[in-house]
Structure formats: structure tokens, C-alpha cells
Chains A and B, each alone.
Chain A
Amino acid sequence: MKQISIVSGKGGTGKTTLSGALNFLFQNNTAADCDVDASNLYLLLNPKLKKQYDYYGGKKAFIEQDKCIKCGKCQTLCRFDAIDFINEEFKINEYSCEGCNLCVLKCPVKAIELIDNRAGEYYLSENKKMKVIHGSLEPGEETSGGLVAEIRKKAIEVSKEEKTDYIIIDGAPGMGCPATSSITGVNYVIIVTEPTKSGIHDLKRIIDTTKHFKREFGIVINRFDLNIQNTELIEKFCKDNGIKLLGNISFDETVLKATQKQKSIIEYDSKAKEDIINIFNNLMEEIS
């Protein structure tokens, strides 16, 4: 079984469009939607929900007001500004608390305890072609790589059961913990970028991150014809640095139309579809 992760430095570059399409082009695969902040792949694959699992991510402190003697020690010591003093009471700010346990250890009257925090959930779903693992975080939760790791674990389990050859992962955007959790240990990373100044800026950062984790990777330039000059810059940058360019995707309004109907671009004869098939072929050469 091979794991292929599709990522991008910034969101909105067409990462999900490409991973959705690849999930239809591969013959025998499991899909994993690791973009838990904006879980859009499952919208595109439109699967039926089969099972739901709770995700507990870390812990949060809780102050028992009856016991608290209002000494303020916890507030002074917390390094995450997570304890507020409102209406004459010390209260944990659930968004800021990282559950480190320091306040619990230091409270002189043992008024604080750590409780398990249900941070989100993840699901096993299925459409006609494949099983899909996806998840969602409670709004305001730390986008820890923890949920991403759970989804990937489940995907591997399912892929083994179903004997699929590939897991196609829609990775989390950015450079932080969820993004890195979506590329650790995968066999190949596809980085999607676009020919905008910000796209180029972020591309370099995500390449560094991918190299940092020593993953093999290739680049796809989406909407390449929007700004040919910038596209040429990216192509030159790849060439100069010996980076594999898997292909370009044309700017094509069919993509938007398909997305609005929650369909993959693969279901519409279009320029973008041809481009993606070409990318798929290049990818197969790279990973076989």
C-alpha cells in the first residue's frame, strides 16, 4: 500500500480539486481527508456516513469554584494566559488552556483538575467507489496533528481490510502541526501551487517543510495560465533546484461549476480534466 499526500502552502490553490480527481483516477484506493479545518474532500466525494468516532485531544483544566481561595497563583504561573479573572472568579479559558497540568500541581487547595477534552470526531464513510475517512474539529480547538494522525491510522486500517493499493490523502494546508502530520511517513507528496506572488512565497516554505521531513515530492501549478510570467518563474525555480514538475492545470471555469454541484472535475469533459489525467500519468511513473 502506498500513501500519497496532496498539500499546499496556502489554502484555496485547488488542492482538494486535485485530490478529489485523483481519488477517482486511481483504481483501488482509500481516501483520507486530513484537512480537518476545512474538510472539503468528503463534500466532493459525497460518501454515505457509516461510522462515527469521538476524538479526544488533550485535556483542559477546570477550577472548582467552591474550593478556590482566590489566591491567583494559577493565573500568575500559567504560561498560556489561559486563566481569566472575571466576576470575582478565576476561570479557565478553554480556548487557551493547553492542558499542561501546571496549575493543577501548584494550586494550594487542589481546586483544579484536568478533564478529557472531546475535541472533535472522525468518520468512516463510503461511496460507490471507495471508503473515505474524514473528520471535523470542534470550532476553536487546537488544530493538533492528533486528529490527522487518527484519520491516517484509520485509513491504513481500512486500506488493509479492503486490500486497497493506495491511500490518497488531502493534506492540511499551511506549515504547522496538522500539515506536517499529513506528510510524515507518506510515500509521495504532491505540492499544489498557483502562479500568484503569495503562491510562490508559500511554495518555498512548503518545499522546505517537505524536505525537512525527507519526503519525495513533485509540484503541480494550478490555474497556470492566469499569470504565465509567474508560472515561468515557478518552472524555472523547479528546474534550477532539480524539483519534479508533475504538470500544470489550466484555468477552467468548469472546475467551479463542478465544485458547486459537489462533483469531481473528472465527471466533466474539460481542459482541466485532461491536464489532471496527464498529471496522474506522470505521477504513476514517479511512484512505480
Chain B
Amino acid sequence: MKIAVLSGKGGVGKTLVSTNLTNILSKYTKIELLDCDVEEPNSNIFFNFEFNKKEKINLLVPEIDNQKCTKCGLCADSCQFGAINVFNHGVMVFNSLCHGCGVCSIVCPHEAISEKEKSIGTIEYGQKNNIYFGQGLLNIGEPSGVKIIRTLKKHSKNINLQILDAPPGASCSVVETLKNMNYAIIVTESTPFGFHDMKSVIEICQKMGLKMGIIINRYDKDYTEIEEYLNKNNIEILEKIPFSKEIALMYSKGELISQNDKYKIIFQNILNKIGVVQ
């Protein structure tokens, strides 16, 4: 079973849920945790894995041979992203705009464009006890982490039981994380913000035909909108985690709250409801 943990916005408790679920499951079985939140991978703060495998993720970006280039301008006209420009003194590539698609080198009539690798980030893997861990990290200033997520998933151990910590939001990198998943856990919080952002994530899961369940974190019984909406739309609520200063404090120190028997039950309940453990 492959489970993605996601949230419409950051900071509502997505990593809290994915790390603690992983912790509980690892008591019974082998489990793989992949941190796909490549802009801010935070899961490892709670486990401190040492990485035994590291891989650079590269894009192929164009390199111009000025000897061969006639400044015909075809490359610049063909690039959909405005990443290559032809000036009087030569051709210039703006690496931060380049998607590495390869169009310019194909259209160049004088074979003046070759391709070189440019690093956009890294993926790392480690293992401790029953937990296999992988994370991606996007380099600063790079626009898109989709390729890092794709490679992280492809090069993982592909253990039967996987938990993926998705990037926050509802963008294409979330969709990349959700591909081939069996279940989506959506984490939200008892505020109009949480409610609003949860709806876009639900829409994605529905479009992708994914089974899903909701966790309302920092639950406040006086704010009823979320539950009314979920009940009306027949979407399962997996758990309501009350606001607790103790949880917030443990989390701030990088501790797993499921180490504490009081909170362990929360995550066991969730797993029961999804049907991962009996």
C-alpha cells in the first residue's frame, strides 16, 4: 500500500502525521518514508538518518558553440520559455528559466548547440531498523522540483508499504507525488484557511480517482464548517487531533509524539481506519 500525506497549505501538520505514522508502522513491519517536500524536506529532523546513498539530479541545458553559430535566431524563436536569447555578441542561455526540454538543440540548423548537465538538486537515501528513508532537496533558485520527486520515487526501494510526505499546496509537484498512490491522507486545520485550501487538494484527489481521508489538526469543535462540508460530500474524517501545547512543544524539539502513549493511539486509529493494520 502506498499512502501520500498532503495538505492544502503548509504548517498544518503534514509532516507530524507522516513521521508518526511511519514510526508506528515500523514497529510491525518494513516501511519506506519518502520526503517529497523537496523545497523544505523536514522529516529527517525527527529521525536523524545517516545517508548512505546520494545522487545528484541534473537537467540537460544547452551550451552554444560560438564557432558554429550563425546567430540565425531559430533557437530563441523555438524556446517556449524565453530561456535562450540571441544578441549581437552571441547567444545567451538563462539557466534559471531553462526547462531542459531539448528543443533548441533539435532546431539549430548548424549543430551549434550541445547539452551539458546542470544540477538542480539531490536525492538521498538511508535506513535505520525497519525504516527505509529517502528525501529530495531542490537547489536554491531552481523553479521546479517535479523531476526530483519523480526520480526519488523511481530510485526508491519500492517497499510494499510506502508513506510519501507530499509538498504542501495543490500544484503539479503534488500531482507528481500522488501518481501511483493507493490512498491520500489530507491534513487540514480548524480555520477558514485550512478549509479553503483543503478543498483544492480534495479536488485533485477526486480527479485522480484516489481514495482519501481527512485529518483535522488543531481541532476546534466550535469551528464546524469543515465537518459539515465533509459530511455533505461523504468524505471520511480519519481523526481529529485537538490543539495541544504539549504536541506543539514536542514537535518544536523534533520529537515524535507517537513515542508518548497518550498520542500513539491517534495514529493507530488512523491506520486502522485506512486498513493498513488490523
Contacts and interface: CB of A to CB of B under 8 A. Distances in A.
Interface of A: 9-13, 16, 37-40, 43, 58-59, 77, 79-81, 95-96, 98-102, 105-106, 114, 137, 139-145, 173-177, 179-180, 194-199, 201-202, 205, 208-209, 212, 223, 226-227, 230, 256, 259-260, 262
A104 to B, nearest CB: 9
Interface string B149-191: 0100000000000000001111111111000000000000011
B141 A209 contact: yes
Nearest to B195: A43
A11 B249 contact: no
Contacts of B146: 80, 96
Given A37-B170, A198-B45, 14 more contacts: A10-B10, A16-B193, A95-B176, A96-B175, A100-B99, A105-B106, A140-B170, A143-B169, A175-B140, A198-B254, A212-B141, A226-B252, A260-B190, A262-B192
Contacts of A77: 102
B146 to A, nearest CB: 8
Nearest to B225: A260
A173 B10 contact: yes
A131 to B, nearest CB: 21
B143 interface: yes
A201 B200 CA distance: 28
Nearest to A40: B193
Given A196-B251, A202-B40, A260-B191, A140 B9 contact: no
A202 to B, nearest CB: 5
B80 A100 contact: yes
A198 B147 CA distance: 24
Contacts of A259: 191-193
A39 B200 CA distance: 11
A223 B218 CA distance: 15
Given A40-B197, A79-B101, A141 B171 contact: yes
Interface string B65-92: 0000000000000101100000000000
A37 B171 contact: yes
Contacts of A100: 80-81, 99, 101-103
12 contacts: A12-B9, A37-B197, A38-B193, A43-B196, A96-B175, A100-B99, A139-B203, A197-B45, A199-B252, A227-B253, A230-B252, A260-B220
B193 A37 contact: no
Interface of A, helix, strand, loop or mixed by DSSP: loop
Contacts of B249: 226-227
Contacts of A175: 39-40, 138, 140-141
A195 B169 contact: no
A147 to B, nearest CB: 11
A143 B80 CA distance: 17
Q: Among the interface residues B39, B81, B204, which one has the most CB atoms of the partner chain A within 10 A? A: B39
Contacts of B11: 10-13
A201 B42 contact: yes
B15 interface: yes
Interface residues of B, number: 64
Given A100-B103, A205-B40, A208-B140, A38 B175 contact: no
Given A101-B78, A259-B192, A140 B42 contact: no
A139 B222 contact: no
Contacts of B15: 198
A39 B169 CA distance: 10
A142 B144 contact: yes
Nearest to A95: B175
B263 interface: no
A205 B223 contact: no
B252 A195 contact: yes
Contacts of B12: 11-12
Interface in B120-143: 138, 140-143
B42 A202 contact: yes
Contacts of B243: 256
Nearest to B202: A139
A176 B136 CA distance: 14
B54 to A, nearest CB: 18
B274 interface: no
Contact of B252 (A137, A173, A196, A256): A196
A79 B104 CA distance: 13
Contacts of A106: 106
B53 interface: no
A80 B179 CA distance: 14
Nearest to B139: A175
B243 to A, nearest CB: 8
A140 B10 contact: no
Given A16-B193, A256-B220, A209 B140 contact: yes
Contacts of A10: 10-11, 40, 42
A198 B42 contact: yes
